[in-house]
Amino acid sequence: MQTHLSTQAESTTDIPAEMLRSMYVAMLRIRETEERLADMVAAGEIRCPVHLYIGEEAVAVGVCQALETDDYIFGNHRSHGHYLAKGGDLRAMVAEVLGKETGCSRGRGGSMHIAAPEVGLPGTSAMVGAGLPLAVGAAIACAMQGTAKVAVVFFGDGATEEGGFYESLNLAAFRKAPVIFVCENNLYSSHVHIRDRRPADNLDALAAVHGMPAPRIDGNDILAVYHTTSEAVARARQGHGPTFIECRTYRWRGHVGPNYDIDKGLRSPEELAEWQARCPIQSFETRLLHQGVLTHADVTHLRQCVTDEVAAAIAFARQSPYPDPNTLHDYVFAP
Ligand SMILES: Cc1ncc(C[n+]2csc(CCOP(=O)(O)OP(=O)(O)O)c2C)c(N)n1
Ligand SMILES: [Mg+2]
């Protein structure tokens, strides 16, 4: 079983410059969207629970860059980044978080129930661990239909403490299902650190025991995520079965909402600062500048484009109507 923590040694030279730029922009888009959503939650404009992904952007973008549009992804309660990285419509997501009729779930779902089936995200579930069996089912269906499609599920370290996690890994391994388990290990489940929940920090070993490769990688290194996922996708498409990828990362904000959970004494300012110094966007930007893929003028321009794009999405969402109260029961049951 392969278990390694890669560093920023992975090469950029085998990736076209245009793709590198697009990966950089995709991370910027997630960051800017989340920062603005955080402001809107703090101002009381957004009323649904919002779990922010800031700090973890390299996982979603690195994984989705290795997928085709018709491959499936499944998310969880913290899925804005997954949705955007897979190509979901930004305006429809912001409108959903604001509860508007133009939202991707017509304003009925909110932040935790976003969907973009047109790009392979059938939906997200806030039940911790619920995405795993859905992804395994989708992967088995893809194989039975004779397609080369794969399914990916993003889940947190906390989801490994659910029974469905073990059932999913077992069935996927047994059936050699074309599924990739992407564990976003941000060290916390709600407000509890992994050292206070488990006898050992060994999630990769849980997967390895099911007989699947279980690389443990730096989830803040987008190229490590991209290369590792590409290998897993190739393996899955060739019929060799699932891979478990443990991405070590960190969410900058608290479990839910815009605050940092420092005031609650749940984590230290030093821990947060240490991970902020390892910002996945900043390190990738520095690298692209160093390698001449981007100039400083490009960085300024691209950052402004993303700021404008997000501002336009927020304006669209604000101008959109709320659902008509008479349609409250629509879309709840199949007609
Ligand atoms: C089955 C279930 N149990 C408990 C909860 C409450 N809950 C919501 S998020 C969360 C923590 C999840 O932690 P993790 O899986 O590590 O994801 P992260 O929030 O760190 O991204 C919990 C316990 C839930 N939504 N579903
Ligand atoms: Mg977690």
- pLDDT, tens digit, 9 for 90 and up, residues 159-173: 999 999 999 999 999
153 lines ligand 1 (CB under 6 A): no
Distance (Å, rounded) from C-alpha 12 to C-alpha 291?
Answer: 9
Q: Counting ligands in written order, which one lies closest to the CA of residue 159?
A: 1
Residue 77 Cβ contacting ligand 1 at under 6 Å: yes
To the nearest 10°, the Cα dihedral for 61, 273, 305, 12?
-50
What pLDDT, on a 0 to 100 scale, did the predictor assign at position 10? 53
| Ligand 1 mutation target, pool 48, 125, 189, 249, most atoms within 8 A of CB | 189
What pLDDT is stored for residue 259 in this prediction? 93
What pLDDT digit, counting tens, does each position of 213-226 carry?
A: 999 999 999 999 99
CB 45 within 8 A of CB 98: yes
CB-ligand 1 contact for 192 (6 Å cutoff): no
158: Cβ below 6 Å to ligand 1? yes
pLDDT tens for each residue of 251-285: 999 999 999 988 778 899 999 999 999 999 999 99
CA distance 89 to 116: 8
Calpha distance 303→117 (Å, rounded): 28
CA distance 33 to 184: 20
pTM for this model (two decimals): 0.96
Q: Which pLDDT value is given to residue 9?
A: 45
Ligand 1 within 6 A of CB of 261: no
Residue 159 CA: which ligand 1 atom is closest? 15
Is the CB of residue 189 below 6 angstroms from any atom belonging to ligand 1? yes
- 304 Cβ inside 6 Å of ligand 1: no
The reported pLDDT for the residue numbered 329 is 87
Q: For domain 17-326, which CATH number applies: 3.40.50.300, 3.60.150.10, 3.40.50.970, 3.50.50.60?
A: 3.40.50.970
Backbone angles phi, psi at 245, to 5 degrees: -115, 120
Ligand 2 centroid from CA 165, angstroms: 14
Question: What residues form DSSP beta bridges with 246?
Answer: 183, 216
Residue 56 in contact with ligand 1 by CB distance below 6 A? no
**CB 225: neighbour CB atoms within 10 A?**
30
Q: Ligand 1 center to residue 312 CA distance, Å? A: 32
3-state secondary structure the chain: CCCCCCCCCCCCCCCCHHHHHHHHHHHHHHHHHHHHHHHHHHCCCCCCCCCCCCCCHHHHHHHHHCCCCCCEEEECCCCHHHHHHCCCCHHHHHHHHCCCCCCCCCCCCCCCCCCEHHHCECCECCCCCCHHHHHHHHHHHHHHCCCCCCEEEEEEHHHHHCHHHHHHHHHHHHHCCCEEEEEEECCEECCEEHHHCCCCCCHHHHHHCCCCCCCEEECCCHHHHHHHHHHHHHHHHCCCCCEEEEEECCCCCCCCCCCCCCCCCCCCHHHHHHHHCCCHHHHHHHHHHHCCCCCHHHHHHHHHHHHHHHHHHHHHHHHCCCCCHHHCCCCCCCC
Domain segments of the chain as ranges: 17-326
Measured distance CA(48)–CA(69) in Å, rounded: 29
Query: Which residues in the chain show pLDDT less than 50?
Result: 1-9
List residues bridging with 72 in a β-sheet: 151
Residue nearest to atom 8 of ligand 1 (CA): 128
Nearest alpha carbon, ligand 1 atom 21: 156
